[in-house]
Every structure is written in C-alpha cells, then in structure tokens.
Structure 1
Amino acid sequence: MAVDFVSLKVTYFIRIAAINDPLQRSNAARTVLVDSTEQLLSVPEPLPAILIALLSGLLSVGLLYAFYIRPLHADLGKLHKGVLSLSQGELYPEIDIKRSDALGRLAHAFNAMAKRLQGTHTDLEAQVAKLTKALAASNESLQESESRFSKLSDLLLLQVKETKKALRESEQQLHFITDNMPAFIAYVGLDDLRYRFVNSKFVKAHKMPREQIIGRHIKEIIGEENYQYARQYIDIVRSGRGTSYENIFHNAHGKRWIEVNYVPTFDKWGEVEGIAVLSFDITERRQAEEALRESQEQFALFMDRLPHGVFIKEEDSRVIYVNRYLKEFFDADQWIDKDAHAVFPNHPVRAEAAMADDRSILTQGQTKVEEALPDKDGNEHVFVTTKFRIARANKPPLLGGIGLDITDRVKAERELAAALETAQRLREEAEAANRAKSIFLANMSHELRTPLNAIIGFGQIIARSPDLPPEQREHLRIINRSGEHLLALINQVLELSKIEAGRLTLSKTVFDLHQLLIELEGMFRLRADDKQIRLVFERSPDVPVAIRTDKVKLRQVLINLLNNALKFTNEGRVILRVGVSQEATAVDQEAHDYRLMTIHFEVSDTGPGIAPEELHYLFEAFAQTESGRKAQEGTGLGLPISRKFVQLLGSDGITVESPAHRSFGDSGGPGAVFAFAIQAEVVRSVPGAKEAVTGSLLSEMDVRPVSLAPNQPRYRILIVDDEPTNRQLLREILRPFGFALQEAENGRQAVELWQEFQPHLIWMDIRMPELDGYQATKQIKAQLEMQELGQGKAKREAHKTVIIALTASSFEEEKADILAAGCDDFLRKPFREAQLFEMMSRHVGVQFVYETVDATAMTGDIYRHSLTPDMLTALPTELLTQLAETIELSDLVRANTIINTVQDTEPELAALLSRLVNNFEYDTILTAISQSQSLRR
C-alpha cells in the first residue's frame, strides 16, 4: 500500500490552520501528530518500522515548527524535503542539518535510515537479478510445457467438439424421428417420475413450451385423476414389464381418448431406470367403435322390426343370422349354424335347390326367387326372396337374403288382373266414346260455324250497299245480331264440351292490358248509354301495360262478367276495377325479362243482386238464378266457363258478394260483385304494340276499308275451300279492291294453282276432301324451300307466299297443328271483314283507305289517354283552380261547363278531361293539376 505523504501533510496543515485559538490549535497539533504516527505505522512492508517512526516524528516536528516554532522552520523544511523525496521513490536523500537537539538527531537518524535503505535496495536488486535469471529458465521450461499442454488441449477440445456435434446430431435425429411420429412420445425417470424428454406432438397437445414440461412431475401435466389411474400401470413397469391402457385425457384438443403404452428402460446393471411413454389419440377409433356398436344395435333393432324375413349365411351356406320375423314365423332359431340340408331334412330337392342358388349367387351376384314355404304351423305361404352377395375385405363373402311374404299380394294380383281386364275394356270403350265426342264436337263446330259464316258474311256484304232502305238495313242488323248471338251460344256450348273433354289449354301471348281495357270499354259503352247506365273503368296507376298471359281467355271472362252486369242492371252503374297486389314475385330478369305479378279484377253493379240460396249453384252449367230466368237470356254457361278460364289463368276462382258495396250515391238494387285475381308475367314492352292496337281497334269497331291506298301492287290471292258458299263470300269481299283472285275446291287443286299462279296470299280451308289444308300447306312450303335454296334473298322475298288458314274448329290445340303445318296464321269462321283486312295488312302489307276512321289519329289518341302535368300547362291558372275546386265538391255539371270553355282551343285535352270527370277519376285530375301548378312556380 503506497502512502501519499504530501497529501497527508497538506490535509493536516489545513485542519490545524483553520483553528484560531492557540490552546485549541496546540491540542489539535498533538492530536494530528498521534493520528499521523498511527497512519505511518499502518504502512505495510517493505518499509522498515523505524522509517515509519522517524517519518512520524519528523512530520510531527515539521508541523510544530510550522505553527509554533518559527526558528525551526528552515530545518524542518529540509526534513520535509527529504521525506518527500523518499515518498516519491528516491532512495538516496540526505538531509543537511547540523543541530544537536532532537531535530538534529532526527536528521541524523533519517540519513542513517536512507543509507540502510540504499544497502537494502542494492541487495534487493541482486536478489531480483538472480530471481529473474531463475525465472527466465523456469519460463522457458514453462513455455515448452505450455506448448505441449496447448497441443494436448487442442486435441481434447477437438474431441469434445466432435463429441458434442455427434451428440447434437443424434439429438436432432431423435427429435426429427419422434416429432414426425403420429404419437405423443415422452421419457420419464422412474425415481422421480419427472419428464426428461417430450416430442413436439406432446408439446402441442398440452400447449406448453418444452422447457416448461421437462423436469416437471407427470401429475402436473396429466392431472391428478389421470395420475392416480396410471399409478397401477407404473407399478407394473417397475417390475420390468411393459403395459398399456386407455383413458380419457383433457388436452389442447379437448376431451380425447388416449392409448398409453409404457415401456421400461434399464441401466447397465439391468435395473429399471425410466419409462418410455408412447401414446396415441384413439378418439376417432373409439367413436367409430361406439358408432359401430350403436349401428349394430340399430341394425338388429331395425331387422327385428321389419315385416320381412332376413337371413345371412356363410360361404358354405351355413346360417349365421336370422331376424325376429323368421324366428317367429318358422322357428328359425333352429337354423343357426346349419345349411339347407339340415334346415329342410325332409325336403332334399328344395334343400339342394337352395344350395345351388347360394353357389350361383356367390359367383354371379343377386337373384330373386319365388317359392312356396310352410310356416311353423304347416300353412303354405308364397315368398319372394331376394338373395345377394355381401363382399368383405380380406374375408370370404357372405350371402344375404330378404324374403317377402306375398301370399296376399298373389291373391290380390289375381283379383287385380281380372279388374284390370275389365278396366281396360271400359277404358277402351270410354276412349272410343271420347274420340266419338271429339269427332262430334269437331263436326258440330264445322257444321254450325260454316253456315253462320255465310249468314254473317253475306249480311256484312249486303250492308255495304248505300241504297239499302232503312227498313232493310234494320233487318240486316237483326240478322247480324242474331247470328252473333247464335255464335256466342255455340261457342259457349263448345267451350263447355272442351272443358268436360279435358281439351282446354292455356295459350300465352304478350299484349297491352291497358289497350284491352280500352277496347272493352268501347265495346260496352254504347250498350250502357242505351240503358242510361254509367259505365266506369277504374285502373290503378301501378297496373302494368305489357303482360304475358292468355289474352283470349282473360278477355272472354271480362266480357262475360260485364255482359252479365249490364244485362241485370237497369239503373245506376257498372264498374270494372283493376289493381295489383303489392307483393310481386321477382324473376331473373336477365334470363326471363319478366316478373310475376298478381292482377285483381272486380266487376260490380247495382242490379237486383243474387239471393244467398242461389250462390252455391251459380257456377253450375246450365243453371240460372231467378234474375237470369226473368231476363230470359243466356244459357247459364257463361259463369262456369269463366271460372274454369280464371283457374287456368292462375287463380283460385271467382268470388261473389251480394249485396255489393255502394258508392257514388248510385240508385238501383243491392247489386253484386264478381272478383278474381290472376298471375301474369309483367314484361318490359309489347312487340309491335302500336300496330297491334290499330289493327285491333279496326277489327273491334268493324271499320271497313273503301279502297286500296295509292301505289299498291296488284296482289294475287288464292281462295281454297270445298264449300262454294265460302269461296263466294271471300270472292265478294275481296273483288271490289281489284285483287287478282283464283279459287280451288281442294288441296290438290290448290298446290297445282299455286305453281302456276304464284299468289301473294292463300286463304286455306283446313277440312277438305282429297287433300286437306294441312297437307296442301306442307307441300307448298316444302316446294318454296326447294326454290329458295339457289336464290338470293331479294328474289326469295319477291316470291314469298303467305298462307292463312280458315277453320271452323273451336279447339285451341288445332292452332298449334295449323302453325306446325306451315301456316303463317289462322282465322276462325265466322269472321268479320275487319279481321280479314287486318290480317292482310299485317302479313302481306296491303294498305287500305278506311271509310270513317283515321287509324293513325285513333292510335295516337289511345296513347294520349293518360293525363300528364305538361298537358295542363296550356290552360290558365285560374281555370285550373276553379276546376280543382269544382271537382273537390263533386259538381260534375259545373266541371263539364268549365272544361267546355277550352273546347275550341284544346279539343283533345277537353275531351280527355271530360272523360276523366265522367268516369269519376278525380284523383287523376287533381294530381295532374297540383303537379302542373308546381311546374309554373
């Protein structure tokens, strides 16, 4: 330990100098002297003890000199310098103090001490040199030893590294093998039952890091309950034997069945030192075993409840299973482990046949045999047994059989065969009767419609004469009305016959529902006006325009209901209301381009109503109510036919209520309400709607053309009909227009004339001798196709022949046959002239000049029947306000007066407003006025 004497002196000096009182300073100096002496004495070897004492005394004297004995200051400084030199390592300091006092003696002692230190230092250097030489020799020897040791150490280190590497690779291989095994693997020390090794599958199962498992007791990992259960098997392992068990464990995968295998490991003395644990998750196997057990139980239960016999045999035909049915029916318990010869000891032929069947089934597959077998009471039963091969993996196949007692069935089949023979005979008779009925209906339709066609057709021709006296013109109208009435009756009878014969079908087309309602309103308007009855058609705004359903049947139903309402109503009103359901069934519009909607129709009147007791037979054929009998009109077929039509259109039927709901303050009787709803497909548009509307109006209003339009070619028309009257009728209708006409009385002549005449249009009758209209059309169309093969498009168009069938049949399915034969369209007899001309315009392109109606203007009016706000902007605001106030007061007279003020300036708008007012469509007018006034702001 080195002592810094300078620092020590300065420290003591500062401590003493800080004291002002002399007495206290003296005491402090003495205290410092003692302390410094003790510190110097504490300096360890190699300084001699005397040096320590001298230094202490010198330091004390120096301090005393510095503060109390001024004269001794210089000598004490020399002593201090010597001490300082000695403390800094100078071994030869010499103090030049010539004094006889204690300070001189101290200096003399210091000098003597320095000399001794010099000698000691010289001896020490010699010893150090000697030791250095010895150390150098020893170091050389040590370096040689270190070199040998280093080589040996490197060799040992290399061996250790290689051993560690081999151990590491071995551990990696062990982990790789165990981690990829489908088992939970662990190693447990037998002495402490703590884990020494676990594989990754074990780690994952317990959701714990490997480091947290190693070293822990198995009870901490598998739980107390499983540990207590495993102890009995651990004791077995202690005896040196392996063992296994199955138990439920709760791990990361939940509740699982685990198979645990314990394998003992031994030390070099043959003592058990550990347990290798190999475990497998057998949950699926246990579940499968449980499912198999339940399946076997269910199979046995199912088989025992079957009302049939079930058996299973081994390959050698020994019976190994029979169900309860066979046990109870044949005492089949005795069959177990027996073959057919043992089962039927008294029937060797039957037994041998059964054995042969078994052998055949095992090689060829399933078979079915029918045999008579006696039951346990000796009663014979007929069984049909299906035998089949049951394949098994790695085992011989089994043979199964299901036997069904068909004794009752055989008896019933015999009875049924006799019944079927009778039924076949009756069916053939019924079919013959039905065919006869159909033939009769077809003949009746033809025979009735043909003369009516002549009556109505020639009546229309005669009515053209401008010089006809009024009295004769009235007679013609009577003839035509009677003919139309007779035709309606015939149609009803034939429709009912078709319903009874099951020949009624649905023919869907796309049409304009709004236009159909307009046509019906026009049809019944005059009749309502004649009876001074208000006819109202109410259509909600959301009723679709274009729909797809059977237009003909819907139109007929509405005509029947409106006709009945007008027939029985003598005052008040008749209303047709049309609306839709809020619910609509959406359909894939990309695939079908439509959606289904329920459309409601309601016809109400203020007639005499229907008595409650008459409602139940209202829809029976030929039945009439009291009102109907009093009216002495109709056949009682309209409502039954209408109900059937409505059902075909997708409705449950027609509902009837009476007395009807009263509205608008109408007078009259209690009335009746007929309502129905149909399912219709709402489409986006009606193809050719405007042209169809024009043609339909011309047809319905019976508007006659007076001539061909200018610049028309001379069309060639061939008339084909076996009835001279029918040919004459068509000739009389067409001749005034300058058409080139030819006639044929059968199909054969028609084909021949077509080749020579090359007509633009053929009116083709269907029922004709020699060659009917079907075959004639097919031949002509076939020849047209042959001609078109080598011709260009323009030439083909120039020689195109349109064939329109004329038929007196009322059967709808005949339309499909006609079109399939090649006809472009068909027209039923009797027909109106307007229908004839409309088809010629549509299919051939003939343009007519009409007598009284401009078809273009009429069509435009139809498409302007809806009132819009823009239409009202032309009227003064004050007039619209007055009209709105008047309508709100339901003052029809004043409303019409206001409307008449704009008759001269806005005739079309005035007519539309008048019609809406008279039909009580107040909301439509008020809404349009309100929106129009909003547009003005």
Structure 2
Amino acid sequence: MRTKRSLVQIYLLSLVALSAIPLSIFGYIWIAKEYDGFNTQSEALRNTYIESRRELLRREVDKAMEYLDFKRSQLNRQLYQDLRQQVAVGLALIENTRKEFAQESKQQQLARLRSTMSSLSFLGNKGFFFLFDEQGTTLLPPMHPSGDTRISDKTALKSFVSQIVTATGDKKYDFVEYRFTRPSDPSRSDRNFSFVYHYKPLNIYMGASVYLNDEVARVKQEVIERIAAVPIDPNNSILFIVDSNGNQLVNAYDSARVGSVMPGVVEASKKVSGKDNSLFTELSWQAGDEGEKPVVSYLRRYEPWGWVLGSGVFLDELNVRLADQRADLQERVNEHIRFIVIIAFVLMVLSAVAARLLARSSARGFDIFQQFFADASKRSTAIDIAKLPFAEFQHLAEDANFMVEKRSQTERALKLSERRFQLALDAAQNHLWDLDLQTGYVTVAPSFFRMMGYEVPSTPYAVAAFKHVAHPDDIEIIAAAVDSWLGLATGNSVEFRVRNRAGEYHWIYSRGDVVESDEHDQPIRAMGIMTDVTQRKRMEQELLDAKIAAEDALHAKSQFLSSVSHELRTPLNGVLGYAQLLQRESDLPSGSEEYLRAIENCGKHLLTLINDVLDLAKIESGNINIVRRPNNIDDVVTSVGDIVGQRAKSKGLDFVLDVAADVPRNVEIDEVKLRQILVNLLDNAVKFTKQGKVDLKLRVDPSRQQMLFSVTDTGIGVPEDKIRDVFEPFRQVNPRDGQGTGLGLAICRRLVEAMGGSLDLRSEYGKGSCFYFDIPLIEVDSHYHDNDVDESVDEQELAESVAHFDNPAIIVADDVAVNRQVLIGMLSDVSSDIREAANGLEVVEQVKERAPQLILMDLRMPEMDGLEATRIIKKDLQCNDVHVVMASATTDETMMKQAIDAGCDGFLPKPIGMDALMKVLVDTCSVVAPEPEPSVVVSFPAKNNNIQAPNGVVESLHKAVEVGDIAALGDQLHALRQDRPEFIAFVEQAEECLRNFDFEGISDLLVMVSHEADPDDS
C-alpha cells in the first residue's frame, strides 16, 4: 500500500510553489533598480567630480599664488634687515680697527679698512661693502653687477656717491636704492639696494649693498624648487608653472618636460580676465607613451614675474572610474540572478529534505517514549523534552516526568546534605588538613590535590613527603611550624610555596592549631586549613614593581627637568648677555635703549617663570632642602609687612601686623622660604581685596610647639566648589583674569609641608578669605652666634689679603661660541688678557702654557667636561692659585656640590648677569668693578619738567621696584591716577616705563620727583 503524505509535507510543498512567483517578481524589480541607480549615480558623479575638482584646482593655485606674494614681499623686508646687520658688523670692524691701531694715522687706518672690507661678502657672496669720504673720493668702490670686479667707471661712481650723499643728508644712516646702467648695454639697468652709515669720526660713508636682480633670481629659483618639491597625487591635482614664453618651470606630473613649451597655455592665458586674472579651461597634456590626454585646468597669471600658475586633473580618470563602475554593476546583476536561481533551487531541495526529516522525527519521538516506559520500571529516569520533535510529544513527556520527580526528590535532598559542608569549604577556597603529631601523618582535603593537579591519595601520608613538592627555601618553615605545635604552641600561621603538577609554584597560607592533647597535655593532633594566596602575592609583587617604576619615572622626570633647565637657560644666557652688552654702547640708535631694557626684563621674567616651574618640580620630587638657621622672627615678619604694607596702602587698604607677645623672638627657621610663603599669601590678599583690610597674625601653640600664621582679607573670597582647586598646580579660581600661572599657592603649600607644617584655607565667597598654616617652633638662645656674619667678615678679610690684579689673566671656556663672546664682551672693560677655550682639553693645555688668575668654566663640554678639567688643574697640575668658577645652566644642588668637590671656587648659574660676574671678579681677583658708561639717558618731554608725586607713594614705589613686583606697581599707579589727578603727569610717565618692563626708567623717574614732592604729602 502506498504511504500517504503527511499534512506537514503538503503544507510545505504548497508554500514553496507559491513563493516562486513573488521571488521572480522581486528579482526583476531588484535588477531594474540597480540599473536606474547606476545611471543616476553616474551622472551625479560626473557633475560632482568636475565641480569638486574645480574648487580643488582653484585652491591649489591660490595657495601657490599666496606663497609667491609672500616670498616677494618678504624679499625687501629681509634685505632691510640683512643690510642693517651687515652695517652693524662693519661699524664694529671700524671701531675695533681704530681701537687696535689707535697709534696709526687716519690714512693708515682707512687703508686697513679698505683692505679688510674688500674681502668681506655676505648673502651668498652677492652682498658687498663700499667706502668713500665726505669729499666724494671713493675708498672702496661698489661691486660691478656682474659680481667679478668693482666698478671703475668714474662717471658711474660719481653719480652713485652723489645720490647717497643727497639721500642721507644730515642723517647718520639711511637706505638708498640706485640703478646702475651698464655702458656696454645702455638699455639694461641693475637695481642696487644699500644701507649707508655716515661715520663722522673718520669722515667716511660706509655701506652694505646688494643687487636686487640677483636676489630676485634667487627667490624665483627658491620658489620653483619649493613648489616642485611638494608631493603630488595625480588623482587629485597636478601643479605647473610656465613663464611668459610658455616654457615650463614646474611640472609636477612629468619633471622631464621642465624647460619645454607647454602647448596651449600661452594662448589660454591671453583669455584670462577678472579681478584675479584667472580662467578655467581644458588643455591637452602629453602623457608619455599614451599620447595627449584631456585635462581640466585652472590658470592664473602672476603679473610681477610674468608667470602663469596652473593646476589640472585628467578627465580620462573619470571615464575609467565610470567604466569600472559599469563593470561592477554588470557583475552585481549577474550575482543577483545567480542568487535568485540558487535560492529557488535551495527552496526545492529544502522542501524535499524537510518532508523526509519530519517523518523521521515523528518516528524518533515514539522511540523515545518506548525506551522511557521500558526504563521507568527499573530506575528513576526522565524524558529529555528537548529531544522531542513536536509540542504534543513534549506535553506528554512533561506529565511522565512529573510522576518520576516525586520519587527523586528524597534522594536529591540526602545527597545535597552530604555535600553542603564540602561545598562551603570549596567556595572559600580553603582546604582542610588533619595532622597526627605522634605519627607525623597528615590527611589533606581532596580539593587541595585537585587544585595542584595531583592524584588524591587514598590514605594519610607523612608530612616529610612535602619536601618533594615544597620550595627548597621553605622546607625549614614547614618544619618549624610542626615543631611549634610540639612545643605546646597555641597556634600559628605560615606561608610557603608548593609546586603543582605543571612545575609551577603556588603560595600557600596555612593556619592551624592543636585540637587534641594526651593525658600529659602533650599535643597529639592539629587541624587547620590551607588557602592559595598566589594571586595576593602576585598583586603585592605588582605593587612593588609599580612603586619601583614610579620611582624610576620620578628620577627620569628630574633628569628631564634638569636637561630642560639647561637647554632653556643656555639661549637665555646669550639673550640677556648681549642685551646688557648693547646697553653699554654709547652710539645706539634712538629708541633702542628702551627695546634693550624690554628684552632684558622680559628675559628675566621668563627666567623667573622657569625657576618657579623647576621649584615646583623639585618640591614634588622631594629634592627641596630646608635650611634652618637662627633668625629674629620679628625682623622677618616686619620686613615682609613693610613690603606688602606699602602695596596695601597704595590701594587704600588697611594692613594690620599682629604678633602675639608670647611669641619667642629668636627661633630656628628657613627664613628664605618663610619669607617666600608670607609674601605670596599677602600679595594674593592685596590683589584680590578692593576695600577693607589685610591682616597678618602670628601666634604660638606651646602644647604642640607650633608657630601659627594666618593671612586674612576682606576680598572677594573663594567659591566653595573652588576651594579644593586653589592649591593645585596651574589651577586658578578665575583663569579668565589672565594673572599668574597658578603655581604660587601650590608652591606655598608644598614649602609649608616640607617645613613640617600644613597650609589650609577658610573662605566665604564675597566676604573674604583666611589662609592659615603652622610650622614647628624651635627656640634658640637669645645670644646665638650668627655664622653668616662671621663668614662674611672672614671673606672680606680674605679679599683684602689677596693680591690686586690690574689686568687679570682670564680663560673663558664654553663650547658655545655665543656664550664665550658674551662673557668676553662683559670682561672687556676689566681685562685685555682673555683667552678662549671650546672644551676642557683646550683649558688644560692653556693652563700648562700660562696659568691665569681666573677660569670661567662651562660644565658640559665635548671631549672633556668642566668637572674633569677642574680636577686635572687642581690636583694633577697643582694650580691651587688659579680660581675656577663653574658656569652652567644646570642649577640642581647635586651638580653644584660635585663642582665644589672637584675643586671649583664658585658657581655661576646661567644666564650670567653683569652684577654677578663683577662680584666673582672682585671676590677672586680683587678687581674693582668699573663704573659702566651711561648708555641709557632718561629724558622727559619739556612739558613734564615739573613732574611731582607724593612722598608716601614714592617710597612705596621704590620698594616695589626693588623686588620687581609688577602687580604692585600697576595697582599703586592705578590708585594714584584715580585719587590724585594732579599727579597725572607722573602716573603717565611711570606707566609707560612699566609697559616696557623698564624698572631702571621708573627708578630714575622716582629719583627725579623725590626732590619735587608735594610738601603736604611729606
């Protein structure tokens, strides 16, 4: 009899047949949409491609045009600067010649200058010097435009001299532009650009000159090389430049065609119009063996040089891309067709397979039920519902399983009770052990052996067997623990290592106690647990490694800051040194004095900022040293109060200094750091207080042996949410005010902590703040001995006993030539016997040749550093009379100590100031520091000859100038402008000096007005 199909099979086959029709319709629509989308996308791509390339081409050409304009405009400015610098070099040469050959006649000196300057050149040998006297006689003619010889044509020289004399007139110097006409080619002229200086001591005109044609050609070549070096992407744009004849100057696509004519560019450039002289056009480019290709180009004419700049992109790339996309489309359509055919075939196959599987599944379900009924009579069993194919079978299985479940509940409850205790131990990762102290056999929980990868022993085993798996270093620890129980110990805990089956050691923590004793109270049994603490040990090691890494990072940070300090101070040495040297010159151009003072003051301000950051870094790394010495606390607090009190008074604030009567006067403190903390806190209080008062209080706490300081103001206060930020480095309550770096309070807190105290803040926003801190109170005898005074007396006596050197021999050792020249310039008024050395080896050789009185030794030099050279001079050569002063931008205390240990007599931190250098000369060579020639003359307009200011303000400003407090100066001048308008002339002059960081100008102004102060304000 034929087997009938099941209902499920009939439904499945019908579904497959019905799904074939919509599947075909869906495939047709899918393919049609692909074609429509391709056509739309292709058209949009073409339009977008061309439009986007237009903007790209315009942008590339505009950038190149901007670069041409920049280089062309930069040429004149650079020539102005270069020629001015060369004239300065020439003047220095003249001055040195007059000074060195002062005994010679004027004509001999001029002959030397003519011989020397004729060989000098600059700007790539294109620049030259010329000389002629006031009568028009040419001493050193200018160079011929060809650059081979100097001009000998008298007519041309006469015209050149006449124009320069007329242009300069009564001025000492001026820029002059002149055109030389070549006799061989009258139609051609060469532009000459010169900077001329009238040197009256010799009645001569000296100038530095260059021909512009050479410089323009050089700049053009530089522009061409720069643009040609720009990397290109042929898929985006290709930049090119042609000259007025169509010759290619730059071809980023094919550099081999540079110099050849680019077809079509000259004709197209004639059509350029508009305000920017630009044009979009299509050109044909020669693309190697492929022949000519169409290119969309953007052209722009650069009129000053007659160039045409352009950028282009190949159109055939677009066509290639469209062809590739069409091929991709066809491939996708083919894939869609294949996909639909495969889906249809798969559906038919799946239908046949599914029908067969359904029949098998039904048979398997019945087999499961038959097996269940056969097993249920023998044992507790259940039907796996997940294996049944249909829901009806599953419902029947649930009922059958429910009947069996009741019988199984009792058995499961019993097994659960038996394992509960073991599970608790396993969950806590504790392994029970039981030791028989009489036999030495121990029983350990099976979980321990499974954890270690060993087989679980069936009987107890000897403790001595542990030596085979225990770490050799820990065997004695295990034996000692067992011995301790035998010695009536109440309990112990030990840690040891045990090797697992894989050969890895686990850290085991074992704790236990004696649980049974015999009739003589001798222990016979001990029990305890063992826990695997390997992870904890690993974490402890990681923490230790992290600590070591942090210490290494801190050391690296210190080394980095030391290097940064050296690299920042080294260029500042040249900047500040040359600024000080130039201020000593008497013939500086008008206005240069203020610029030099501004440079020097800005450099000092930058040096202060560098020192602040390095101070904070030293404090954070624990390298700050607290030097406590006996001091009178009244003197310290009063001196701080005098400085800040004047600033508070200038703002109309009351300043109250309150020192309790029970405060000991003579204490041991670090006076420098305490003064730094108090000045910083009081400055902040004055700065942020507009009206009211500022208090400084000092109390003592005898019970804790602490000095208690507090600074209270009635200023703006600190918002509650900002209080935690004020002591963080580089954090400010109101960063928008632009004042300070946010380091002051951070440094104060760390200094207080380094001194053994703590700094904190109480504040109410809008009402004021109170900063309070405490430091240890260390009293000293009222008749303490001031070592500093004795040392200063001894040094004074020693200085008086040293022989006086009228012209001391000095060696300046530094691997940086600029630093050597700065020091030589500073020492030129003191000594003429100055030698240079670029490294330690040269210093040692010069000392062997002739010992000097003083060596200014740089720390870091090639071949041999300053420390090694000093050791050789002091120890090997036994030159103890030679004073060696180490000069370096590295200022950490460790390096300074190494310098002293090597034999140095002093240490000069870079940048080196004139005052510090003179002090070294006085201390080492008994040189009387020369009075500097007045190079800066402070003059005021005639209308301000009667400038006045009140005496109280003058004294306050004097103190602010002495400490360099810019903020206090500004506040006091602002208050004087508002409260006393009759002194507006004085305020304007002082504010002008302050804007230029001209503290010397302010000091001179204060000296002048101190004799004309208002009597009513005395």
Q: Quick check: TM above 0.5?
A: no
Larger radius of gyration: 1
TM-score, normalised to structure 1's length?
A: 0.40
